[in-house]
Structures are given as structure tokens and as C-alpha cells.
Amino acid sequence: MGERPAAGGGKWVDVAPERLERWLANFAGRHGPYREEGLLLIAEDGALATLTAPPGAGEPATVTELLAAARTPRRLGLLLARKGAVAAGIADGTELVASKVDTHYVQGRTAAGGWSQQRFARRRDNQAKAATADSAGIAGRILLPEVRTLAALVTGGDRAAIDAILAQRPLAPLAELRTGRLLDVPEPRHAVLLNAIPAARAVPILIREG
């Protein structure tokens, strides 16, 4: 499902729950037999792999527990925001069962100096506030009625935009379900929301070579 560099060295890989057993076998094939210390794999050649439970899968203490938890179907809330666009949805297992996507116009940052720049800044600020309020309304309509059924809320896009949306008081129950990872997604569209489901379900693994 792709790789991304990790702070401090190494790389992150996202593995679908259905492929995790195969990934473990391939890890042993590349690096030799490994021993487990909780969710840390220590291979014969010194390679390390740290597994992380996916959103809503609880806090498994062993790889066996993680395998079972990751494969257990669960409902996840999805909230993506970037450049005035927002997408909210509910994933039941691998299926998107409810969603709403919308776009709000927010001007860019370039403007002339002086009074024109100040007027531009006020107009842009008002547009951004309106976009945040509308986005919060969409999140409320799609996600709040189902909040008690959600195992976690997975967010993606622009962190500042997500923070502003979830700071709205009515969305406090959703904010409590928010997971730490922010998915790196383009401007939200329906297809982007669909593509976020595999990333939200995946098991993140930090790999550092020996």
C-alpha cells in the first residue's frame, strides 16, 4: 500500500489486515527468523519492525492479538479537508456506507499591499470561517448521528483545517474519537474518500534495517 519515510530513519509501510500474515512471512524470508517482543519484531539480521494497531482496533499486546483485532470488522468515521473542500463518510469494514463531499471557495494568499491587502485578508478570513462552519455542518450531519457506532475517527488532508472543524462545540463527541495519524490525501473528492478507506484500515509498520 505504499511506503513513506519515518522521522529518525527507517520507513513506514501500510499493510492491509488481510495481507498481514503474508507480510510477516515475507519479512522472515527477507531478514531471517524473528522473535517477538510485544509488537516489535527483531529479525536475525538485526532488522526491526514495529507494528501499530489500526484505528479502532484497541490496544493489542501481541502480534497474534493484533492480527485478530485488525481483521475484525469495525465502523470508522472519515473526515478529510483541504483547500476549502471537505469529505465526510462512514466506512463499515471496506464499504463506504454514507458520505458527503462539498467544496467552498477560499481565495489564495497573494494580494497587493496596503489597504487592498487588508481587505483581501479580511475577505479571505471570512471565507475560511464560512468554509469551516459549513464543513462542520456536513460532519455533523453525516457522522454525529452514528457517533456511538464508530470505533474511531480517521482524518486526512490539512491539519489546521481539520483542527478548526473539530473545534466546533457540537462536534466534541467526534473530536474524542479522533486518531493521531493524519492521512496524506489530495483535495477531497468522492474517489479520494473511497481511497482513504484502505489507508484507514491498514496496519502501520515501522521498519528499520539492521
* Start and end residues for every CATH 3.30.420.60 domain found in the chain: 75-201
Residue pair 175/8 in contact by the 8 Å Cβ criterion: no
- pLDDT for 123 equals 58
- Non-local (6+) Cβ contacts of 197 within 8 A are 76, 78, 91, 94, 96
Average pLDDT over residues 31-60: 97
pLDDT tens digit string along 55-80? 999 999 999 999 999 999 999 999 99
> Which class is domain 75-201?
alpha beta
pTM of the model: 0.87
- For residue 210, the one-letter residue type is G
- Smallest CA-to-CA distance from 132 within 61, 82, 98 is with 82
**108 — pLDDT class (breaks 50, 70, 90):** low
pLDDT tens digit string along 143-171? 999 999 999 999 999 999 999 999 999 99
Distance spanning both ends of the chain, measured CA to CA: 23
